[in-house]
Amino acid sequence: MLDGTGTKAEALIQNVRTAATAGFTTRLVYVTCSLATSLKRNAARARVVPENVIREKSETIAIAFELISREVDQIQVVNN
């Protein structure tokens, strides 16, 4: 199992392809969260991420999901 923010599509696709070549079934679990909720949760954390970083990643994640989802055997979407 790999986890991450999902913003580095090329690396994730390579990992999925490697796993598939090795005979593994691949599954993408996509946890969604609104930008407003992300910003609110971030503000409540002890280690705050700059808001512009969160905004940039929120745009990238949807694109990465579209690319990675084409490579996996199963997709699970979880609304958080």
The H-or-E segment that residue 9 falls in is helix 9-21
The H-or-E segment that residue 76 falls in is strand 74-79
pLDDT in tens, 65-75: 999 999 999 99
Mean pLDDT of the chain: 92
Residues above pLDDT 70, as percent of the chain? 100
pTM over 0.85: no
The residue assigned the tokens 């969604």 is 32
pLDDT of residue 68: 94
pLDDT in tens, 12-38: 999 999 999 999 999 999 999 999 999
Q: Quote the CA–CA distance of 65 and 44 in Å, as a whole number.
A: 27
pLDDT of residue 1: 77
